[in-house]
Amino acid sequence: MGEVFAGRYELVDPIGRGGVGAVWRAWDHRRRRYVAAKVLQQSDAHTLLRFVREQALRIEHPHVLAPASWAADDDQVLFTMDLVSGGSLAHVIGDYGPLPPRFVCTLLDQLLSGLSTVHAEGVVHRDIKPANILMEATGRGRPHLRLSDFGISMRKGEPRLTETNYVVGTLGYFAPEQMMGAEPDFPADLFAVGLVALYLLQGTKPDSQDLIEHFAEHGTPSAPDGVPEPLWQVIAGLLQPDPQDRFRTATGARKALNAAVEMLPEPSEAEEPVEVFDQIGPLPEGFGPDGPLRSGGTTAAHSPGPRTTDPRTDGQFAPQPSPSAPASMSETGSFHLPPPGPAVPAPHAPQTAAPAAPYGYPNPVGYTAPAASPVPAPAPGPHDQPFTHPYTAPSKGQPPSRHRRPPPERVRDHPRRWRSRSCWWPWSASPWASGR
């Protein structure tokens, strides 16, 4: 049998991996059902603070996947969520490429519905991207998504855990005001929703920098190829660089989306139906639908299994991944803000049709693409986690690649100093002294 955590959760097999923790399929001996358990892999104070914030979030909504319970065992902690087996939107795009507009509208409606409840609780998600939007394995039935991973979310007015001149999130999904150091707010989440919508309709990650520059210089362009004009008007309202010109609430964007759906053309008979597959796979040997099995094939009684140690963590508990487990890597991290400069968007940019942008529109005669300004590579801060490998959806029939995070550095106790990676910092600069 597997490791029994805190006398209740039996870890079965790993199903994903994020920036600060591994996600396992686990058997809940108390509720007698399978759950997803996120096991924190690092125990520094900064990571623990984010863990406490995430596990404290309780939002009940059919399209939100928030923590349900948590447990601690010695110096290891985990929290559990519902088990969602259909992978993420990145898996769906990896299987089908660009998705039909009506299918995308169904997904966007569910995403905005869940996000409106999150915002009603005063929470800014801050990391909306395809890899954080999970799918139930519904086959060819109506899709059902769940907004997940609230690891860097925060309530408006809460103190930020990042230092000055740092922004937290995933490169390519930042709203322009985030890159200028603005406080996290709901319209920044809506900008990311607009980028997700383009990703679903075009099958590739949009270039947010080109989008921002084009909107700021030329206003709203015409609809890209394959995107119906009514749907494009909604997406363009999510992608306005100036947050004052953007949809202010998820509820307002959802109402506009529902009106646009009424004007979409009916799907053609040649349109391929989209099927959401089970991405987790069968249970490993020793486990059945009703939990762990005895040698005779019946459900086993609850008994703690042997603990597994890892020499890289000085004997601390370290779950061992199974050979068939997918490793979904997170791109979430902390990044340096660029030096102060002029604001990117004009306060009231013209909203008239203009020559197409270089992110998918046909270039008209005489159009010259604006030169992209060089962006310096982000330098790590004292509280940054190591960057993880970029996520790539696995192809059909090919086993996904796995990457191991480097072992955490041991922190030496010192009465007046603390250590961050490779350098010593005075106590006055530490997050404990400043209250961050």
Domain boundaries, the chain: 4-83+285-321, 84-280+332-397, 410-436
| pLDDT tens string 224-260 | 888 999 999 999 999 999 999 999 999 999 999 999 9
- Lowest pLDDT segment from 22-36, 180-194, 257-271, 325-339: 325-339
| pLDDT tens string 106-131 | 999 999 999 999 999 999 998 899 99
Within a 10 A sphere around the Cβ of 425, how many other Cβ atoms?
Answer: 14
Query: Angle at CA 125, nearest 5°, toward 204 and 44?
Result: 105
Checking if the pLDDT of 401 tops 90, the result is: no
* Contact criterion met (CB below 8 Å) for 108 and 197: yes
Which CATH superfamily, name and number, covers 4-83+285-321?
Phosphorylase Kinase; domain 1 (3.30.200.20)
Checking if the pLDDT of 143 tops 70, the result is: yes
Checking if the pLDDT of 291 tops 50, the result is: yes
Taking domain 84-280+332-397, whether its CATH number is 1.10.510.10 is answered by: yes
CA dihedral 250, 253, 255, 261 (to 10 degrees): -130
- Please tell me the predicted confidence (pLDDT) of residue 296: 58
- Please tell me the predicted confidence (pLDDT) of residue 350: 45
Average pLDDT (83-93) is 94
Query: Where does the pLDDT of residue 328 fall: very low under 50, low under 70, confident under 90, or very high at 90 and above?
Result: very low
